[in-house]
A = this chain, B = another copy of it.
Amino acid sequence: MTFLRQPTRAGVRDAAAKLAAILPATPLFTCDLKGVTVAFKAESLQPIGAFKIRGAWHRLTALDDAARGRGVVAFSSGNHAQGIAWAARKLGIAATIVMPHDAPPVKRDATLALGAEVVGYDRATESREQIAARLAEARGATLVPSFDDPWIIEGQGSAGIEAAAQMARAGLPAPTLVVVPCGGGGLAAGLALALPDARITVVEPEGWDDMRRSLEASWIEPVDPNPPPTACDSLQTQRVSALTFDVLSRRDAQGVAVSESETAAAQRWAAERLRLVIEPGGAVALAALLAGRVAPEPGMLVLLSGGNVDPAAYARVLAG
**Chain A residues engaging chain B, CB cutoff 8 angstroms:** 24, 27, 29, 44-45, 49, 106, 169-170, 268, 271-272, 274-278, 307-309, 311-312, 314-316, 318-320
CB pair A275–B44 under 8 Å, yes or no, is yes
Q: Can you list 7 residue pairs at the A/B interface with Cβ under 8 Å?
A: A268-B311, A271-B314, A272-B309, A275-B307, A315-B319, A315-B320, A316-B319
Contacts of A106 in B (CB 8 A): 272
Contacts of A268 in B (CB 8 A): 311
Pick the contact of A275: B29, B308, B320 (CB < 8 A).
B308
How many copies of this kind of chain does the complex include? 2
Known contacts A311-B318, A312-B319, A315-B319: A271-B275 contact under CB 8 Å: no
CB pair A318–B320 under 8 Å, yes or no, is no
Known contacts A24-B27, A27-B24, A27-B27: A275-B314 contact under CB 8 Å: no
Shortest C-beta distance, A173 to chain B (Å), equals 18
Shortest C-beta distance, A103 to chain B (Å), equals 15
CB pair A318–B307 under 8 Å, yes or no, is no
**What is the chain B residue whose CB lies nearest that of A277?**
B275
Known contacts A27-B45, A45-B27: A311-B272 contact under CB 8 Å: yes
Contacts of A274 in B (CB 8 A): 45
Contacts of A309 in B (CB 8 A): 271-272, 275
Distance in angstroms between the alpha carbons of A301 and B124 in the assembled complex: 46
Distance in angstroms between the alpha carbons of A318 and B264 in the assembled complex: 16
Contacts of A308 in B (CB 8 A): 275
Shortest C-beta distance, A9 to chain B (Å), equals 26
Distance in angstroms between the alpha carbons of A44 and B272 in the assembled complex: 11
Contacts of A45 in B (CB 8 A): 27, 29, 274-276
Distance in angstroms between the alpha carbons of A29 and B271 in the assembled complex: 18
Contacts of A311 in B (CB 8 A): 268, 271-272, 318-320
Distance in angstroms between the alpha carbons of A275 and B312 in the assembled complex: 14
Pick the contact of A318: B24, B44, B318 (CB < 8 A).
B318
Distance in angstroms between the alpha carbons of A224 and B318 in the assembled complex: 35
Distance in angstroms between the alpha carbons of A278 and B314 in the assembled complex: 15
Contacts of A318 in B (CB 8 A): 311-312, 314-315, 318
Shortest C-beta distance, A111 to chain B (Å), equals 14
Considering residues A170, A271, A320, which has the most beta carbons from chain B within 10 angstroms of its beta carbon?
A271
Contacts of A49 in B (CB 8 A): 275
Pick the contact of A315: B170, B278, B315 (CB < 8 A).
B315
CB pair B272–A275 under 8 Å, yes or no, is no
Contacts of A275 in B (CB 8 A): 44-45, 49, 276-278, 307-309
Q: Using A276-B276, A314-B318 as known contacts, list a sample of 20 further A-B pairs with CB atoms less than 8 Å apart, ordered by residue number in A.
A: A27-B27, A27-B45, A29-B45, A45-B275, A45-B276, A49-B275, A271-B277, A271-B309, A271-B311, A272-B311, A275-B277, A275-B278, A311-B318, A311-B319, A311-B320, A312-B320, A315-B315, A315-B316, A315-B318, A315-B320
